[in-house]
Chains A and B, each alone.
Chain A
């Protein structure tokens, strides 16, 4: 674990480098070798022992000098391998070059050509598996985590920029109506693209707030909700209407939207469905929660604000979180902030196989989360009142890789042991959402219940498109946005063809 370094110190170091290299004026004189020698700028953060007890954002964001210095590390590769790693194809070298020269507004505009949610993506994208994985600098350093910190620069630009290019480029009205099911990252992206093209866009949201997983799932300390609401306001300024408390599949069906309400096209981006459990003994005891429930209570329903929120949160002392993804890290770190004394991540593979972002795993460790690796619960034990009192686990070893390429965990016979636990949180992913597909037999689904789409995002039902988790299973914010972008192009093309007489 690295030693904690004060934000003021990091800022001073960046100032020194900037002066020494005479940035940004001296940028053109820098050789590739010199660029590569600039140390990666560390993200200033709240100190672990303090942040583990508050809901404020962990990462504090780069200073201006840090952005200039970090952006100067970019080698500006002609073939720009990083762009291929971005699901929405942001012109990464373009915005980084602008940022390195203090042209922050211009840099943000370059991002906004491809992404409407930079403040969110800069914070939650798994960059080390996308753009940073393909970055030449990271290849030289043999570590994608040492690549140009693309997301951190993106975040700075989004937080500090004043550009509203999303609003400037709106086309005249086409008179076509598009309904979007769900206001998560996918729906918001499609809405923005279609509104810019002049279509009349309405988003139907089941919850009372827009943002999908960014408001119910991702915790405040990783993504402040004020940032999501700012992005949503930008979208509304573009003319997109959002109707809350409206559940497609129950309040209205897809067919009714098209036949009764006159929508010319529909984009289904209703997100994740029912949380998965493990089907082990004791799973319905009091004190066992899905991460969805635990996080929705704390984030969307604000249970962390105990003095004001009406939604209660279970009081926990010893918590076990099952799973190794971002959601598991979020749940564990939330439980710690909610006052748990001991929080365990129980995962049946090793840290190397964990699907979570490396930064989240590191942050969780720094905050004192205990990692029980190569371990999996076999049953949950209850007391006489039906409440969780412990778990029984088995130890595992890694075997040969499975279809996903990850080593298959194999149980070690006779390795049972018990842990005293009062709360279990399952973060094992979700099955598909049945509400739209269950009421729209025209939609073709695969064996997991995910909607099948063609290369333009169109489903088996004419004019109906789909994307995000309902198509991909569990995806990420940026992959959902990528789908949204494809569907927007597909919908626009579909509506343009419809408009022409045959």
Chain B
């Protein structure tokens, strides 16, 4: 059992949890993720990026949105309780270098969470980091203070203008590419469509753009191939080759259709699980 050391609700359906996982805390690096499972027998394995870690405390931090069965179940867990299984760190760490011109880090929605350790690492390597954060509205922005403290410059965008600029993240990104000191590198993490358009924005300027993909996975160790994406001319496995790839080479359309593989089953499944949970509550037994 992996103990939940701390739980915090960041927005209506986004939660932060600090987990006691000393081995993962010791070896994890920016860009890596864990696979988590809530139940020994019937649980599913879901990948979640590591948002932070503390080697001394032996803890890692995950930030997740309660959208599917497993994340909903996770969101109902309390401090002091345990999670059945957490495997990690997985994936290849971010390639961190010192650049002479700024690094621009773009985070969309929950994607700001995995971006946080990457901003940390680029800063630690001595880079000037400009962070762009985007969300639908101000209530969905996460880690704003942390990012403000860490970044040399922070640009906030919301779709409705409730905080920062009323714009999509691609707007300030384009301006930065057009500026006198264009970014040496862009890291964009968020919904697939956001990463796709960030990559399209930087493409004409030939600014190297890294995206972090969160495709469907089962084992996370290279065995199933469910996470595979087309990158350039080849097929890559997100769990071992990634999760970070050259955004200019990723076939986002194919990836997005692959990510919808189980849409129907999940809808139907969710209805059944909800009914099951109700039955269990009625019957007074634990689900």
Contact = CB atoms under 8 A, between A and B. Distances in A.
B237 to A, nearest CB: 6
Contact of A305 (B42, B44, B45, B264): B42
Interface string A280-293: 00011111011011
B281 interface: no
A245 B86 contact: yes
Given A245-B87, A251-B88, A283-B235, A297 B218 contact: yes
Given A273-B223, A275-B224, A286-B260, A296 B218 contact: yes
Given A293-B218, A386-B254, A310 B225 contact: no
A290 B262 contact: no
B248 interface: no
B229 interface: yes
7 contacts: A246-B87, A251-B24, A251-B89, A302-B41, A308-B41, A312-B262, A312-B266
Given A310-B69, A435-B240, A247 B225 contact: no
Interface of A: 206-209, 216, 244-247, 250-252, 272-275, 277, 279, 283-287, 289-290, 292-293, 296-297, 301-302, 305, 307-315, 385-387, 430, 433-435
A314 B42 contact: no
A302 B27 CA distance: 31
Nearest to B32: A250
A289 B226 contact: yes
B37 interface: yes
Given A292-B224, A307-B272, A251 B265 contact: no
Contact of B219 (A207, A251, A385): A207
B17 to A, nearest CB: 17
Given A250-B89, A286-B261, A314-B262, A274 B273 contact: no
Given A216-B219, A284-B251, A293-B225, 14 more contacts: A208-B40, A208-B85, A244-B85, A272-B223, A274-B222, A275-B223, A286-B258, A289-B225, A289-B226, A290-B224, A292-B223, A312-B266, A386-B254, A386-B257
Nearest to A253: B27
A331 to B, nearest CB: 13
A273 B222 contact: yes
B90 interface: yes
Contact of A251 (B27, B39, B40, B45): B27
A292 B225 contact: yes
A245 to B, nearest CB: 4
B54 interface: no
A252 B27 contact: yes
A314 B218 CA distance: 14
B221 to A, nearest CB: 5
Nearest to A276: B225
Given A286-B260, A313-B265, A301 B44 contact: yes
B26 to A, nearest CB: 9
A309 B42 contact: yes
Which has the most chain A C-beta neighbours within 10 Å: B221, B237, B257, B269? B221
State the majority secondary structure of interface residues on B: mixed
Interface string B238-261: 001000000000010110011011
B228 A284 contact: yes
Contacts of A247: 87-88, 90, 221
Interface residues of B, number: 50
A274 to B, nearest CB: 5
Contacts of A296: 218-219, 223-224
Contact of A311 (B218, B229, B230, B257): B218
B85 A310 contact: no
Contacts, number: 129
Nearest to A308: B42
Interface of B: 23-24, 27, 37-45, 69-70, 84-90, 218-219, 221-226, 228-230, 235, 237, 240, 251, 253-254, 257-258, 260-262, 264-266, 269, 272-273, 276
Most B Cβ at <10 Å: residue of A246, A283, A312: A312
A435 to B, nearest CB: 6
Contacts of B43: 310
A435 B69 CA distance: 30
A79 B208 CA distance: 69
Nearest to A256: B27
A310 B44 contact: yes
A209 B226 CA distance: 20
B230 to A, nearest CB: 5
Given A206-B87, A296-B219, A302-B42, A310 B258 contact: no
A423 to B, nearest CB: 11
B265 A286 contact: no
B23 A246 contact: yes
A208 B240 contact: no
A102 B260 CA distance: 58
Contacts of B258: 284, 286, 386
Contacts of B253: 386
Contacts of B70: 310
Nearest to B251: A284
Nearest to A314: B261
Residue from A206, A305, A310 with most neighbouring chain B CB atoms (10 Å) = A310
Contacts of B27: 250-252
Contacts of B230: 284
A244 B23 CA distance: 12
Contact of B39 (A250, A272, A297, A310): A310
A250 B254 contact: no
Contact of A314 (B88, B90, B221, B265): B265
Contact of B269 (A275, A292, A312): A312
Most buried by B among A216, A245, A272, A387: A245
Contacts of B218: 293, 296-297, 301, 311
The 4 closest A-B pairs by CB, nearest first: A386-B257, A293-B224, A310-B44, A312-B265
Contacts of B261: 286-287, 314
Task: From A207, A216, A311, name the one whose CB has the most chain B CB atoms within 10 angstroms.
Answer: A311
Contacts of B85: 208, 244-245
Contacts of A308: 41-42
Residue of B23, B85, B251 most packed against chain A (CB within 10 A): B23
Contacts of B40: 208-209
A297 B264 CA distance: 17
B219 A290 contact: no
A115 B225 CA distance: 33
A290 B225 contact: yes
Contacts of B224: 275, 290, 292-293, 296
A341 to B, nearest CB: 18
Nearest to B41: A302
